[in-house]
Each structure stands twice: as structure tokens, then as C-alpha cells.
Structure 1
């Protein structure tokens, strides 16, 4: 005699298990993504966008004045991770240039570090301390006499 196999029916218990598993996965993924997003957020560009908008025209005027200086900058990192900076005007290195930079991690994971520069060969400037390995955002202020220029560069 053959034994009859009885097909199991789909019950409310099965549906409950499926719904709980589905929404459990969705909630777990959402919490994971929210945690990763908040842990890597580096902050805001400006603290108060209204105040920044009031200074916009002044920023444009300073940028135009900086462009009129005609300075070209070249930043490189040597094998020892020292930052080399060359400031030129019409291809000729500017003499008696002073520079200071603030470097910070683009995602805000480390505190900003101030870099000072000293004279190097060929009219260039060399940072007095090396950069740590990784990607850095460099805010550079260059002064030559009364003229001042500001640059922002990403350095690896």
C-alpha cells in the first residue's frame, strides 16, 4: 500500500515568519547604513549659510584680486612625505615668500594640523614636518609682501 504524501499548506504562521524576516533584514540594513553615514560625516562647509551668503560678494572680490596676482602654485609630496611648494609668477619663482598651511582629513577623522614652511632648493618651500600617509585637504595661505593668496588642495 502506498503512503499518501500530503502537501503542507501555507499557513498564517508561514506568512508571519516571512514578514518578520523581511522587515528584520530591511531594518538591520537601514540601521547599518545610518550608522556608517553618521560615523563618516565630516561636518558642514559653513556653519550658517545665511551669514555665508552675505559674504559671497566679498569672497568673489578677493578671488578676483587673487587672480590678478598671477601666481601659479605647484604642490608635491616627496618620498619622505614632506610637502614641496613652488610659487611662480610668469614662470619665475617668487622670492621671499611666506606660507603656512592647515591640513585636515577630508572626513574630519583627525584634528587639523598646522604646517610651516622653510626655504628649499630652486626657490621652493618645504614643510618643516612630514604629512602622515593618506588623503588630506590642505588650506594654504601664501604671502609675498602685502599680497596674500589662499588655496585649497587635496593632497595624497
Structure 2
């Protein structure tokens, strides 16, 4: 009776090592894909200062949203439109709206534009936005007083409301 017992050979070690690193690499690739496909992060000049201002900014935004003023955006044929309205749907009276367009990651394409007033509570900018994700920070003022300050995230692909 003969038994063939070679034990743990070099081939076994090679297969074990390849399997181990194959699992590690596939997990890393999967996690990197999920990270890039979900939250993209934000670029700030100083993360420490931004973290210190977070609660203060959150309280100011909560107070502003309690007024009932809200805005909506649309993009059609390179015309960006911002409609600002009160809780009851009537247009909000503002003099000036500044829009700061930012990419979620990186700042090489960021720009600011003052929107042109085309009606009560209705503002536009005729500007081409390159395809992809954007965050627009909209600052609305009446007589120099801040009426609304909001940031909206949107994707230009398929955005035509």
C-alpha cells in the first residue's frame, strides 16, 4: 500500500501567496471604486478652520431656512437659471445674486458670476458649464443685506429641468 504524501510544497506556497494578494488587491480595488463613485469630498483652504466654523455655519443656515425662502435651479442650453421664492410660492425680492461654481474635487475650473436679474426672484447667467458634477453656492442680497445663502449640488449630465 503506497500513499503519496508530498506535504506542503513550493507550489502550495505560491498558490497561497497569490490567493492572499489577489484578495487584498480585489478588496482595495472595490473600495477605491466605491469611494470614487460616492462622496467626492470638498476642497477647502484650511481644514482646521473649516471644522471650527462648521457649527456656526450650520446654525446660520438653519435660521435662514426658517424664513421660508428657498431657491431652485435649472440649466438649459448653457443658460443657468435661479428662481428664488417665498414659502407661499411668491417671488422673493432680491437685488443681486452671486453664484460661485465649484467642482467637488479640485479648484482649477471654479468661477464666480453675478447673475442677471430677468424678473422678480428670477436670475440667469449665460455660461457654458463643462460636463460633470458641480456645487453652486448662491448668495442673494437685498440692499446689501443677506437674504439667502445656499449651496446646491448638481450634475450637468441629464440636468434639464
Normalising by structure 1, what TM-score?
0.69
Please list every run of 5 or more consecutive structure 2 residues that lacks an aligned counterpart in the other structure: 156-161
CA RMSD of aligned residues (A): 3.6
Match of 1:12 in 2: 9
1:94/1:24 CA distance change after superposition, 3 Å: closer
1:3-82 paired onto structure 2 within 5 Å? 9=6, 11-29=8-26, 32=29, 42-43=41-42, 47-48=47-48, 52=52, 56-57=55-56, 59-60=58-59, 62-67=60-65, 69-78=67-76, 80-82=77-79
- Farther-moved stretch of structure 1 (98-107 vs 122-131): 122-131
1:25/1:97 CA distance change after superposition, 3 Å: same
Match of 2:158 in 1: none
Normalising by structure 2, what TM-score?
0.67
1:108-147 paired onto structure 2 within 5 Å? 108=106, 110-120=108-118, 123-147=121-145
Counterpart selection for 2:83 from 86, 89, 92: 86
How far does residue 99 in structure 1 lie from its aligned partner after superposition?
A: 0.8
How far does residue 126 in structure 1 lie from its aligned partner after superposition?
A: 0.5
Report the number of matched residues: 147
Are the aligned partners of 1:105 and 1:137 in contact in 2 as well (CA < 8 Å)? yes
Are the aligned partners of 1:116 and 1:128 in contact in 2 as well (CA < 8 Å)? no
Please list every run of 5 or more consecutive structure 1 residues that lacks an aligned counterpart in the other structure: 1-5
1:93/1:108 CA distance change after superposition, 3 Å: same
- Counterpart CA distance in 2 for 1:141 and 1:48 is 24
Name the SS for the 1:117 alignment partner.
Answer: strand
